[in-house]
Amino acid sequence: MIPTRFSTQDLSLMDRLFNADKFHRDFSETNSSSPLVNIKQAEDKYSVEMSVPGFDKNDFNIELNENELIISSEKEENKEQEGEKYTRKEFSYQSFRRSFTLPETVDGDKISAQYKDGVLYVDIPKREEAKPKLPKQIAVK
């Protein structure tokens, strides 16, 4: 049977799953868009892939504040071209800010980032104690 109404508890759970983790914010008030991300988990790390074509690696600001990873950028271009009787200006301004709440199992000192082919890659290693352990044989004495 498919429920036709959600209980308050169901809505609270859905709100926590989709809104509480700060994975996506709307920055339309600054006339900018928030880049899309892929987040992957492996045994030894988390990986964030952010689609940000047209940027340079120096355009990014990545910081870790407590357990919050913040990736942001502000990029402004001014192009002027003078003709015989006119001046034409073209302005371009792009900005975004994305934040991610990291679990306590990550090693914040070893976070690394690389920008390649329009994608920002951020690797977030897990602490040794958070990595899965191989089975250990115990000898019977």
Contact 66, 126 (CB under 8 A): no
Over residues 49-99, the pLDDT tens digits come to 999 998 899 999 999 999 999 999 988 776 666 666 656 666 677 889 999
**DSSP output for 16-64:** HHHTTT------GGGT--PPPEEEEE-SSEEEEEEE-TT--GGGEEEEE
Mean pLDDT of the chain: 77
pLDDT for the residue numbered 48? 95
The domain made up of 20-128 has a fold known as Immunoglobulin-like (2.60.40)
Checking if the pLDDT of 12 tops 60, the result is no
pLDDT for the residue numbered 87? 67
